[in-house]
Structure 1
Amino acid sequence: MTQSDDQRLGVKSVHLAFEVLEAVAFEPGEIGVSELANKLRTTKGTVFRHLQTLVDRGYLIQNASTQRYRVGARAYLIGRAAAERVDIIAGSQDAMRSLRDETGETVVISSLSNRGNIVMNTLIGKSSLEIGVRVGSVLEPHATAQGKAVLAFDTQGLAKQLRRRGLAGLTPHTVTDIDELERQLEAVRAQGYATAAEEMLLGISALAAPVMDDSGKTVGSIAIVGSIQNIGRQPTPEQIEAVLRAAQRVSWNLGYVGHLPFEPRGGRAPARKAMG
């Protein structure tokens, strides 16, 4: 085996270790070896070795009675330290509450990564039907309003990645043609918001707008998510206005002072010094 082969195996092992940690962390309760192996499409022996290492280092805990696993204190401390440094979470709290109270819908704030949009925080809506999006979920860029809002203004080349790998059809309404997706993204750039009705999950619709930081870079999105009865294929002007206003507010909190892609009737922020 060559050195490059060793390096590839090492990188693959590191990736799997993180996938094991993430799978346990985002599980509502405890999870067993067999379930993890099925979820990650690998062998129980491989998963078990990574689990033992993570337990030894305090990132996971094994329940002695059930032999199942949950997050340990070390992972919690790292997560808390990271959360304190992720400005988009702190900068979106008030805007999320205002948007939820105004629309009654579940509000989702997500952050851009090279894998897509990662859900950073959610605020459940006031409807009798509770619709939630799990924190830590990675949203398909082409099949969600949050993803399209980011793709339209992205400078990291995510759209090129999608063109190379193709667009998976998640429901009969998912856009699977890259040229059609490009046309939708052009519309998002013109209007400043994105929609996705039943594209990721039947019966669920979303409306999102991009969030920008002090450098003018798109760093995520804020969205309302609800049933197709409450957020139609063409959202109401009031819903659009509320989401744009919330995106503007979060962007200002992150130090953004430029022109937003599409400004709500409330206008733009007064000129002020950008926050570092």
Structure 2
Amino acid sequence: MTDLIDPPATPKASVDAHPPSGIQSLRAAFQVIEEMAALGEPIGVTDLAKALGMPKTRTFRYLRTLKALGYVSQDPATERYRLTLRLFHLGQAVADSTRLLTEARAAMVQLRRDTGQTVTLSSVEPEGMRVLDIVRAHSPVQIVTRPGALLAFHSSAQGRVALAFGPARLWTAVRGKPLKRWTPHTNTDLKVLEAEVEATRRRGWATAPEQTLVGVNALAAPIFGAGRDLIATITVAGSLQHVPAEPPAALVASVLQAARRISENLGCTEYPA
């Protein structure tokens, strides 16, 4: 089991004393951002370099990179630089995710208690559904999905919900490449998937029996924000014995109730699904 033991940590002093060039660049870039944020107004290269105690050519290099990445803009008339709203949007996304996790946790625990099954919370990304949190069932057999896993749209209940209630652009990730076959039962027919997504839109929930793991099914429902936009899904997952391909009405009702409760806590006054 020695392969499971972490290697000894490098002493912090040596890391700080001689950081790799990549870390130095990253640190300097954040120093540029933090200084500009603290200033709160456009600034020229010379003044920024002086404030940072950094060579002007190096400061300009970082500004140019940040501009190319969309974090900094330059006024063509004054040649001064300012931060764009991209950082604000990133901060807002982090805040939204934190609130989502906070609001969802109690509902996830209750849903696990009601159903006895593993419950997951997933957010929508351009390439699939990112698992944010898991409340595992008290069972000797565990679903192996972990927080951080990215689930494909076509082969997950979460993904089918996203395609049904999310923006149309999500279909780009599905139609842009062949659909991967994860198990012998995974659907790779686009027409069949479109029909399944339409059925999901009508009934407000989706399943994906044996689409990602043999013998395992999931039942997912959408979570909406204050603007009635899809922001996440809540899912129960378990063996086909406990989460059958045609789930019982009581199980569907429990998942929808949890999704509606989280949505309301996030400001959705009228649950669309």
State the TM-score bracket (shorter-chain normalisation): 0.5 to 0.7
- Partner AA of 1:141 in structure 2: F
Alignment partners' CA distance in 2, 1:259 and 1:173: 32
Q: Which runs of 4+ in 1 moved over 3 A?
A: 28-31, 51-58, 81-85
Deviates more, 1:252-261 or 1:240-249: 252-261
Alignment partners' CA distance in 2, 1:118 and 1:29: 28
**1:160 alignment partner in structure 2:** 172
Q: 1:249, CA displacement in angstroms?
A: 0.7
Question: For 1:118-157, what aligned pairs fall within 5 Å after superposition?
Answer: 118-157=130-169
**1:172 alignment partner in structure 2:** 184
> Does 2:237 match 1:237?
no
Alignment partners' CA distance in 2, 1:29 and 1:211: 39
Q: CA RMSD in A?
A: 2.6
> Does 2:202 match 1:183?
no
Aligned partners of 1:211 and 1:222 also within 8 Å: yes
Aligned partners of 1:104 and 1:125 also within 8 Å: yes
- Partner AA of 1:142 in structure 2: H
The gaps in structure 1 that reach 5 residues or longer are: 1-27, 32-50, 59-80, 262-276
Deviations 1:29-69 (A, max 9, x none): 759xxxxxxxxxxxxxxxxxxx98469969xxxxxxxxxxx
**1:226 alignment partner in structure 2:** 238
Count of residue pairs the alignment pairs up: 195
**1:252 alignment partner in structure 2:** 264
**1:68 alignment partner in structure 2:** none
Aligned partners of 2:126 and 2:173 also within 8 Å: no
Q: Structure 1-normalised TM-score?
A: 0.65
**Distance verdict in 2 for CA 1:248–1:230, change over 3 Å:** same
Alignment partners' CA distance in 1, 2:204 and 2:21: 47
- Partner AA of 2:174 in structure 1: L
**2:222 alignment partner in structure 1:** 210
Deviates more, 1:159-168 or 1:171-180: 159-168
Alignment partners' CA distance in 2, 1:52 and 1:232: 54
Q: Secondary structure at the match of 1:205?
A: strand
**Distance verdict in 2 for CA 1:116–1:231, change over 3 Å:** same
- Partner AA of 1:254 in structure 2: L
The structure with more radius of gyration? 2
Deviations 1:186-209 (A, max 9, x none): 000110000011100111110000
Aligned partners of 2:228 and 2:272 also within 8 Å: no
Question: For 1:1-276, what aligned pairs fall within 5 Å after superposition?
Answer: 30=6, 53=22, 82=94, 86-261=98-273
Q: Secondary structure at the match of 1:149?
A: helix
Q: Secondary structure at the match of 2:208?
A: strand
Alignment partners' CA distance in 2, 1:209 and 1:250: 11
**Distance verdict in 2 for CA 1:55–1:129, change over 3 Å:** farther
Q: Secondary structure at the match of 2:222?
A: strand
The gaps in structure 2 that reach 5 residues or longer are: 8-19, 28-92
- Partner AA of 2:145 in structure 1: V
Q: 1:230, CA displacement in angstroms?
A: 1.0
Q: Secondary structure at the match of 2:176?
A: helix
Give me the identity figure in percent: 34
Q: Secondary structure at the match of 2:220?
A: strand
